[in-house]
């Protein structure tokens, strides 16, 4: 299982797109949050979704979104989970799944702002000030710690094509290492 983390707009969705092209099954923790938010009639703007996610963490513990997302994870050798936000979520995954690998995606703030404004998702921020608030919220959840503990870091500061190729190279390297370890264990 590969888990992706990174600040908003860093390129996690594009990384997942490459992983899917290599056969990975993707599970988005954000979709779990949105599903629960919808069931509870929460507005789909960034602030409302963020407040809801924070409230659920306060009520049920910091690992609640990992626990809730786990019901969507099939027993596949090649699953990619997008949206790791804190250490407790990481602990949950490591305690409940084998071979958990964390990849952090990094991009600078100005690139992230440009990408977020360009994609114009309903639940996204719409200004530099809103991005700073969202960054602070996610840093308060503990995303900085899981980024610093990642097994791999990929920097997204090139063209989209180059980033896709770098992601493909990294994923193929991880798959090769995993397959090599599996074959050694079988021998």
In a domain, 69, yes or no: yes
pTM, 2 dp: 0.92
Residue 86 scores a pLDDT above 90? yes
Could you tell me the sign of the dihedral formed by the alpha carbons of 75, 183, 92, 88, in that order?
negative
**Looking at the 3D structure of the chain, how many domains does it have?**
1
Domain that holds residue 77: 2-179
In a domain, 80, yes or no: yes
The pLDDT value recorded for residue 181 is: 66
The pLDDT value recorded for residue 128 is: 94
Backbone φ, ψ for residue 160 (5° rounding): -60, -40
In a domain, 103, yes or no: yes
In a domain, 84, yes or no: yes
In a domain, 186, yes or no: no
Q: pLDDT for 137-181, tens place per residue?
A: 999 999 999 999 999 999 999 999 999 999 999 999 999 887 776
In a domain, 101, yes or no: yes
Q: pLDDT for 94-111, tens place per residue?
A: 999 988 999 999 999 999
The domain that holds 175 is classified in CATH as 3.40.50.300
Q: How confident is the model at residue 182 (pLDDT cuts 50, 70, 90)?
A: low
Please classify residue 173 by burial: count the beta carbons closer than 10 Å to its beta carbon, then call 0-12 exposed, 13-18 middle and 19+ buried: exposed
1 membership: H or E segment, kind and range:
none
Q: pLDDT for 42-84, tens place per residue?
A: 998 888 999 999 999 999 999 999 999 999 998 766 899 999 9
The pLDDT value recorded for residue 17 is: 97
Residue 187 scores a pLDDT above 70? no
In a domain, 187, yes or no: no
In a domain, 73, yes or no: yes
Of residues 136, 154, 107, the one with CA closest to residue 10: 107
């Amino acid at each position: 299982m590969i888990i992706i983390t990174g600040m908003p707009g860093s390129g996690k969705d594009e990384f997942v797109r490459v992983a899917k092209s290599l056969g990975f099954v993707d599970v988005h923790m954000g979709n779990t949050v949105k599903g629960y938010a919808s069931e509870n009639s929460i507005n789909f703007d960034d602030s409302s979704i963020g407040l809801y996610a924070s409230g659920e963490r306060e009520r049920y513990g910091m690992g609640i979104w990992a626990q809730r997302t786990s019901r969507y994870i099939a027993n596949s050798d090649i699953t990619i989970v997008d949206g790791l936000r804190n250490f407790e979520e990481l602990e949950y995954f490591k305690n409940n799944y084998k071979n958990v690998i964390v990849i952090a995606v990094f991009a600078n703030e100005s690139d992230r702002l440009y990408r977020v404004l360009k994609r114009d998702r309903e639940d996204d921020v719409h200004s530099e000030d809103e991005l700073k608030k969202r960054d602070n919220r996610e840093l308060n959840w503990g995303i900085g710690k899981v980024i610093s503990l990642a097994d791999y870091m990929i920097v997204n500061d090139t063209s989209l094509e180059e980033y896709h190729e770098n992601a493909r190279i990294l994923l193929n390297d991880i798959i090769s290492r995993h397959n090599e370890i599996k074959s050694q264990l079988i021998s």
